[in-house]
Amino acid sequence: MAIVVVGGHSRNIGKTSVVAGLIRAMPERGWTAFKITQYGHGFCTADGAPCDCQTDEHTVAVSAERPGGDPATDSGRYLRAGADRSLWVRTRVGMLAPAMPRIRKELAGSPNAILESNSILQFLRPDLYLSVLDPGTADFKDSARLFLDRADALITVDRQLAPRWRGVSARLLAAKPRFAVEAPGYCSPELVEFVKGRLGA
C-alpha cells in the first residue's frame, strides 16, 4: 500500500483540487481518500455547525461518502474523481490523535490512500508528501511551516513560485522539486509522472 499526503500553507488554495486531480489521473490505484478537517472552539465536529458542545463523543467524527452524495463537498469530489472510497474525518483543533485508530484501520484495508492534511504528518510517515503553495496568499499555517522540510515536492497554483512568506526559507523552497498546476484540472503530466515514479508500480 502507498500513502500520499497533500497539504498546503493555507485554506482555499486548491488542495482538494490537487487531490481530485491525482485520483482522476491514477484511478487504477483504487484510492481511499481522506479529507481531514479540524474545527476550532464553538463548532461541532459532527457536522461543522456552530455549537457549544464539549462532550467526548463530539471530539471525533468520521463519515464515509456514499455514491450519489453531495458532489459539492470535498469528500464527494474525491468520489466523483474516481476514488474507491472517500472519508471525511472531523476533529477539534489539536485533537487528531483520538481519530488515528479509526484512520489506521481504514488505511489497513486500502490498496492505496491519499489524505488531505498537514497535521496527519504528526502521526504517520507517508510514502509521498506534496505541499500546495499559492504565492498570492499571504497566510502560512504553522502546521505547513512545521512540515515543509518533509515535502517531497511543491505544487504551485496558477503562478510561478515567488516566495514572500515571513519565516519561510527561500533556500528550502528552491531545493524542492516544483510542479505548476492550473485550474480547472490542478494536475499536470509532469506531476503525475513524478508521483508514479515515487510510488512505483
DSSP secondary structure, 157-185, as one string: ESS------TT--HHHHHHS-EEEE-TTT
Domain hosting 93: range is: 2-199
| Residue-wise pLDDT tens digits, 113-123 | 999 999 999 99
Global confidence as pTM: 0.88
**d(C-alpha 118, C-alpha 120), whole Å:** 6
- The pLDDT score that the predictor gives to residue 50 is 53
- Summarised one tens digit per residue, pLDDT across range 121-164 is 999 999 999 999 998 888 999 989 999 999 999 999 876 666 57
36 vs 27: CA distance, rounded Å = 21
Whether the pLDDT of residue 18 is over 60: the answer is yes
How many structural domains are present in the chain? 1
CATH label of the domain that carries residue 36 = 3.40.50
Question: By the 8 A CB rule, do 96 and 36 touch?
Answer: yes
